[in-house]
Amino acid sequence: MNSWFTVRVKYTKQLENGTLKRVTEPYLLAAMTFTDAEARIYEELGSYIRGEFMVVGIARTDLSDIFQYEDSATWFKCKITYGIEEEDGDKKKKVAQNFLVSAPDVKEAYGRMEESLAGLMIDYQVLSIVSSPIVEIFPYRDEDVQSPAKKVQDVDERVSSQRGVVFSASGSDVEEEEVPEEPSNDSSLEDQFDEEHE
């Protein structure tokens, strides 16, 4: 299962006035494990950051959803609570969830949270909205991870559309080779088999 990780990266950044400054910036990305998160951040930032950079911290981040709007690159962390009934039905248990929303200011972030959570069938309360230092978010792409059912479906589609194709592992030197649809009926093999077993 994918989780969100905050990865802190240290590098030398060129500021608007042209001076260079050593900075540590947090990025949020989806990954399966801490190792996966580290590998992905090097892949994502490799062409983005000039020069060397290093990962100085990785932490699992508890987020229920992320609501991204194109008009703003500023992120706000929103915390909400709501009550759910216990199994025995006597008490309500309070549940807290964190969300991330992009907005130009706190007021707009609140409005966007209300709009995004309008479909919830429960009463909730917004506890806090605070500015987040997150620089950029890297969600999982379809090609990064797929459910086993999706993989099976993809293989079935390829096999049915290109019957007899051999799939080689990525990076290997084996080329795809077509196999004849109907194996040839070689009677000499059958004769050999019959002679050996008489």
- Among 9, 29, 61, the domain boundary falls at 61
Q: Which of 49, 103, 41, 43 is nearest to 78 (CA)?
A: 103
- Provide the pLDDT for residue 89: 65
* 49 and 95, same domain (yes or no): no
User: For the stretch 141-170, what's the b/e string if a residue is b when 16 or more beta carbons lie within 10 angstroms of its beta carbon?
Assistant: eeeeeeeeeeeeeeeeeeeeeeeeeeeeee
Kindly state the average pLDDT of the residues 70-99: 86
Question: Which of 16, 33, 61 lies at the terminal end of a domain, its last residue?
Answer: 61
Q: Across residues 43-49, what is the average pLDDT?
A: 86
Show which of 61, 79, 95 is a domain's final residue: 61
- Judge if 124 and 100 occupy the same domain: yes
pLDDT (tens digit per residue) in 166-197: 222 223 333 333 334 444 454 444 454 455 54
- Assess whether 111 and 153 both reside in one domain: no
Phi, psi torsion values for 128, nearest 5 degrees: -155, 150
In a domain, 188, yes or no: no
Is there a single domain that holds both residue 1 and residue 47? yes
What pLDDT, on the 0 to 100 scale, is given for residue 141?
Answer: 65
**In this structure, are 98 and 123 located in the same domain?**
yes
Residue 187 lies in a domain: no
In this prediction, residue 123 carries a pLDDT of 87
Specify if 11 maps to a domain: yes
Q: What is the CATH number of the domain that holds 26?
A: 3.10.20
pTM summary value: 0.66
Measured CA to CA, the distance from residue 38 to residue 35 in angstroms comes to 5
Residue 197 lies in a domain: no
**Domain for residue 195, yes or no?**
no
Length of the chain: 198
Together in a domain, 57 and 29? yes
Residue pointed to by tokens 């950029």: 136
Residue 161 lies in a domain: yes
Q: How many helices (H) does the chain have, and how many strands (E)?
A: 4, 8
Q: Which two tokens stand for residue 74?
A: 């500023």
Domain that holds residue 171: 148-182
In a shared domain, residues 11 and 54: yes
Listed residue (37, 41, 42, 45) closest to 13, CA to CA:
45
Look at residue 138 and give its three-state secondary structure.
strand
Highest-confidence range of 49-53, 125-129, 183-187, by mean pLDDT?
125-129
d(CA 128, CA 106): 10
First-to-last CA distance in the chain? 58
Same domain for 80 and 57? no
- 15 found inside a domain: yes
Give the chain's mean pLDDT.
Answer: 76
Residues 56 and 76 in one domain: no
Query: Do 10 and 48 sit in the same domain of this protein?
Result: yes
Query: Do both 1 and 57 map to the same domain?
Result: yes
Least confident of 75-79, 127-131, 152-156, 163-167: 163-167
181: DSSP letter: S
Q: Give residue 14's pLDDT.
A: 85
Query: Is 20 a member of any domain?
Result: yes
Say whether both 51 and 81 belong to one domain: no
* d(C-alpha 1, C-alpha 141), whole Å: 14
Total of domains in the chain: 3
| pLDDT beyond 60 at 135 | yes
Higher-pLDDT residue of 32 and 172 is: 32
